[in-house]
Amino acid sequence: MARREILLFFVVCAMASVLDGQTLGGPMHDKAVVCYVASWAAYRPGNGAFTIENLEPSLCTHLVYSFAGLDNEKGTIKSLDAWQDLEVDYGKAGYKRLVGLKKRYPHLKVTIAIGGWNEGSAKYSTMAATRESRQKFIDSVMVFLDQYKFDGLDLDWEYPARRDGRPEDKANYVALVKELSEAFKPRGYILTAALGAGKDTMDAAYDLPKLSRYLNLLHMMCYDYHGTWDGTVGANAPLRGTAEEDVLSVEYTIKYMIEHGVSPYKLVLGLPMYGRTFLLKDAATRTIEFGKTPAQATGFKGPFTGEAGFMGFNEICQEISNTSSKWTHHWHDQSSTPYLRDGERIITYDNARSIAIKVKMANDYGLGGLMVWSIDTDDFKGICEKETDAYVDFVDRYNQIKDDPVMTEALKTLNLADASRISKRTHYSVSNGQLHLRLPESQYTNYPLMETINDAAMLAMEEKRIMDEMERITKENEIDDDKTKPGAGSRMASSVAVILCCLLAWF
């Protein structure tokens, strides 16, 4: 008995040792999920304070530490918050802690972003202006990446040729990207860039075919299309515009990028973890019309982010969860945008449903992945109630096709799993000759939007495979119908006769 107990003790110890050193994986699909991490979120008050320990790395494939800056005098990369980023002088060692997650989550790529809105454009314009100044910057980046063990760099210059930039920035930006790419290749570093999504910015700032050639991924910042600067209420990230000629929408940006030479598999669709706030000029306004209803020049603030006109999803969802609040819920069909109203106050934002719709669009266009700005404004503490309508649009499409005769034919060739043996990786299955849909089950108590991104990606990929097979069968049936239509044989005979006559005349 003593020998058995000793043996059991060693077995338990060995298992504990293995589990303690266990490595964990990431998303179960093959799309990139790029998560920007705002270092300054650590300074937010109360439940808004976000640290690296709050991260759930299994939800992401890439983590982007935001932001490093550009030394205005030296033209080199630098930390913007030494106490938060570095170890010196008892600093918080943000760089080391984020990169250190790779030990337990080896699927992760961790990069450093340089730039951002507050850094402006002028000094980046100066740095990129000459071969010598670009090389000085590149040399500093190589040392920086090696010192802090990052996997690469994300360029977040906002924006070339804009905001005090120069017209020649467009060409110089390509030169900078090309030279960085060439320097990175021997070391295997990743080079990505966050690109503005407005048409005016895309026209002025980017030579897209060349950028697509040299960048590993292009992060489309598909948000901030509308805000208080418009003077009217509008969607922060509308799926589609309010009119045919409206160029400020997610779909327009995707089409523009692809039509201007960007490889779809390199495109990463940016999704906002925040919304825009408005104060109506006339609180008595009965109907809200995006792009038309007048709003004041400044919106209201959230309790954590403290920025007028801006609220993180974690702030918005707490407003919704507050049973004593007076918010009324609305949905704008054209832009696929939820919005809230309480008298003169309006919030347009993204919830689980609108995120799922955008993930499907990204998949339909064959994009390489999704990106979030930023993960620290999701409900990372799991304080809010879960939304229940995230996949209502998937359910509607399922109900439309499940009894379609073409679906019956498609099931013969799709080789879907049996409903009784379905795995967590699979949502569509077959049983008794019928298509079945199993909606995702929540695995986390927090991060509802991030979880929606990954679950919707799986749903969208499976759904597209089914739809593509139905489309293939429909086209084959149409061809067969044409062949069997009355007169089809006589038309073919007449065509042959005409050809023979032409040949006889020729000879």
Active site (catalytic) residues: 158
The angle at the Cα of 137, spanning 133 to 141, to the nearest 5 degrees, equals: 165
**Residue 374 · residue 37 · CB < 8 Å:** yes
CB 172 within 8 A of CB 127: no
Are 243 and 425 within 8 A, CB to CB?
A: no
CA distance 487 to 501: 21
- Residue 156 has φ and ψ, to the nearest 5°, of -125, 55
CB 65 within 8 Å of CB 102: no
Enclosing H/E stretch for 217: strand 217-221
Q: Which amino acid is at 168?
A: E
Helix (H) or strand (E) holding 154: strand 152-156
The distance from CA 324 to its chain's CA centroid, rounded to whole angstroms, is 33
What element of type H or E holds 111? strand 109-115
Q: Residue 7 contacts by C-beta under 8 Å, 6 or more apart in sequence?
A: none
**What is the signed CA dihedral for 293, 299, 303, 305, rounded to 10 degrees?**
110
